[in-house]
Structure 1
Amino acid sequence: MYNLKNMAEDKLIRLNVSSENPEEIIKIGGELLLKNNIVTDSYVQAMIEAYRELGSYIVIAPNIAMPHTSGENGALKTGVSLLTLSKPVNFGNEYNDPVFLVFCIANAGEHEELLPILESIVKIGSDDALREQFRIAGSIDDIEKIINNFNL
């Protein structure tokens, strides 16, 4: 079963990303998926295009963006990457900006694999203290400990 623990094992986490451009942030998260053979380059481009066309719908909870697109755009399998941002960034969502956690989601149609990932992200989105722990994490080991402690 795929869950957030796989992010660390698969090297899908990047901490303290320094960018103020939402499209560049999405590209960085997408490239982590690309490097791990989870998506094709066209999927990364489609996530950026979706943000350009549809805007801040990807800001799903306070401080959390979840870029994604249809699996038909080049998802090879289900996976998720995580970026923490060195400085919060506005994605254009008046209720949930600024963003400092970005989960890039890929789903190649295995909805049963996607569900635990989405449940974990919802849990993070509804818990201010948990979001803050992710925000201040200084290492991938710290992220792994948070994931294990909260059974994400």
Structure 2
Amino acid sequence: MKSGDGVSKGLVVCEEALQRLLDGKPFVPEHVGLDLSKLTASIVSLEAGFDRGYLKKSRKAHLPIIAKIEAFRAEANKMPGSSSGESIKRLKNRLVLLEKELAMVSLQRDRVLTQNLQLWARVRELEQAGRQKTSQQVHRLPRS
């Protein structure tokens, strides 16, 4: 599937994914705070919504984006001073996302616990009502 300029839609999606990673705004939660010195073609493929092996050096059309990925990774490895500041920023962003996720999961847990307690109380009420009904029926039986 190719767009009007001869570039496949998959490569366009990968280019967009690479840009999101470089901007620090990935869609995949595991890529938030990614150290660009660890950027790989498989990470870009996953960010684009494909499997790890989508981008391959054996495909001529993929060579330009793979070269970009390797260039960005090499550049990130050259600048240790600036990457530590960026690393801290990415880690803070990741921390914020994890805190939000924790709050959401805690809220869900509390709701489920509340529901379970309500169900448990209702079961006890029904069991007690069942016992009372059974004992009333036993008392009403005629003696022979």
Please, what TM-score do these two structures have when normalized by structure 2?
0.25
* Larger helix proportion of the pair: 2
Based on CA coordinates, which of the two structures has the bigger radius of gyration?
2
Q: Which has the higher contact order (CA 8 A, sep 6+)?
A: 1
TM-score by length of 1: 0.24
